[in-house]
Amino acid sequence: MDIGIVSVRYAKALMDYVGKTGAEAQVYAEMEQLERSFRLHPQLASALDNPLRSREEKRQLILLAAVGEATPSQELGRFIDLLLQNGREAILRFIALSFADLYRKRHHIAVARLTTAVPVRPEMVERIRQRASKLLHATMDVQTEVNPAIEGGFVFDVNGYRLDASVATQLQRVRQQFVEKNRRVV
């Protein structure tokens, strides 16, 4: 069966379950942290795929990745037990991503990424978040990233759209225009 279909089914089941128990926000935060752990530590996926690890070791590893030393929600614990029982720990990252998408759609949350050449002050990020929230009529989750390669300006990605006002892109456009103009002359 397709990984995408299976992960979405598990994510929908978890969403329905936590919706009934009222723990949506807590489980969303835990799943976000779990996905962040998968992204930052690629060896986590291979550790969960290891058939020599017991279920309990995998359970502890997953919970540590999701909540650290804090106490996990009962809902997350039961869900992890279900996944391990069914042998679906290999698709846990996809489930976490699908759950986050479902939660954001249900609660009208848009995710935006602001990439700058230098770190941005928190009050500036808050102003951007407020303005984008008004324009999109949704709650905004603005994630910032510093990438010196853009040389200046910013790149703002939201809901599949990109506003690229970086110096690197502008220089590339000028370079292309210059090459095109000189080709016609020769």
Among 151, 155, 141, 79, CA closest to 111: 141
Gap between the Cα atoms of 62 and 45, Å rounded:
10
Give the pLDDT band of residue 159 (cuts 50, 70, 90).
Answer: confident
Using DSSP, state whether 183 is helix, strand or coil. helix
| Chain centroid to CA 133 | 19
**Token duo for residue 143:** 């994630």
2: DSSP letter: -
Walk me through the domains of the chain, giving residue ranges and CATH numbers: 3-105 (1.10.520.20), 108-185 (3.40.30)
Gap between the Cα atoms of 38 and 11, Å rounded:
17
Beta bridge partners of 145: 115
pTM: 0.77
Give the pLDDT band of residue 160 (cuts 50, 70, 90).
Answer: confident
Three-state secondary structure along 91-123? HHHHHHHHHHHHHHHHCCEEEEEEEECCCCCHH
- Dump pLDDT digits (tens) for 27-83: 999 999 999 999 999 999 999 998 899 999 999 999 999 998 899 999 999 999 999
Q: Helix, strand, coil: what percent of the chain each, to 5? A: 65, 15, 20
Gap between the Cα atoms of 114 and 27, Å rounded:
25
Place of tokens 């290999």: 90
Gap between the Cα atoms of 155 and 114, Å rounded:
6
Gap between the Cα atoms of 32 and 53, Å rounded:
24
